[in-house]
Amino acid sequence: MQWKRLQRSGLRRLQESTGDLYQQTKLFRIYVSDVIPGFLQTPGYATALLSSIADFRGTPDDVSDAVAARMRRNGVLSNGTRRFSFVLEESVLRYRLCSAETMAAQLGHLLGVMDLQNVAVGIVPFSTQRTMWPMPTFTIFDASRVHADTLDAATTLTQPSQVELYARAFDRLSQVAARGAAARSLIADAVASLT
């Protein structure tokens, strides 16, 4: 579905529209190549990102309501019955969509989230030998549905062969992702580069 249709009444409703899906899903696999994933965003980072989106798309300015809705929706992250596996490109840590202070707080939050037992974060370093190229952002909900984003549309894929294709890509990206201390080091380097 085209973003302009999804966002025509503002960004808040879009944030709220996925609430049921988030409550039903037990395993989230998220690959991101462009921005900090919504699940992991701080209010400051989300405000900067959603403001940019609203400006670019010319949607009604309901950014503060959309940020509040996103933060409520993200409460699912702290529910220990759900598992989250994130794979981020290192570039995500470096893109500046907000002030250096806001980005430092966001990266600090990312470090804190990595301590949650139900959350796994991997970062694909710039320098790694890749078996899978960077691609647009996608989220796999259990093994039944994929949301894939492009500039103009949000695509929902439910055919088993489509879901399996994205799961295979996620697995390959995961294999080359740095984890634990190596991932924390990449985040610390990104924080240090802000000064």
| 132: helix, strand or coil | coil
Q: Mean pLDDT over all residues of the chain?
A: 89
Residue 190's pLDDT is what? 98
pLDDT of 6 over the 70 cut: no
pLDDT band at 143 (very low <50, low <70, confident <90, very high): very high
Could you tell me the pTM of the whole model? 0.89
Query: What sign for the dihedral angle of Cα 191, 72, 180, 150?
Result: negative
Higher-confidence residue of 155 and 184: namely 184
- Report how far apart, in Å, the C-alpha atoms of 172 and of each of 16, 34, 54, 92, 191 are: 31, 18, 34, 18, 27
Q: What is the domain-level CATH number for residue 173?
A: 3.30.870.10
Which has the higher per-residue pLDDT, 62 or 3?
62
The boundaries of the domain holding residue 10 are: 3-192
Sheet with 119-124, edge to edge strand ranges? 119-124, 83-89, 27-32, 138-141, 145-149, 154-157
Q: Please state the length of the chain.
A: 195
Residues paired with 122 in a beta bridge: 87
Q: What is the pLDDT of residues 123-137, one digit of tens each?
A: 999 999 998 999 999
pLDDT band at residue 58, thresholds of 50, 70 and 90? confident
Tokens of 144: 């039944």
The count of structural domains within the chain is 1
**What are the tokens at 110?**
């990312």
**Which one-letter DSSP state was computed for residue 178?**
B
Q: Report the alpha-carbon distance of residue 130 to residue 124 in Å, rounded.
A: 9
150: confidence class by pLDDT, cuts 50, 70, 90: confident
Rounded Cα gap, residues 62 and 66, in angstroms: 6
Paired tokens of 90: 């290192």
Q: What share of the chain is helix, strand, coil (3-state, %, to 5)?
A: 50, 20, 30
Nearest to 6 by CA among 48, 66, 93, 76: 66
Read out DSSP for 54-88?
HHHHT--S-HHHHHHHHHHHGGGGG-TTSEEEEEE
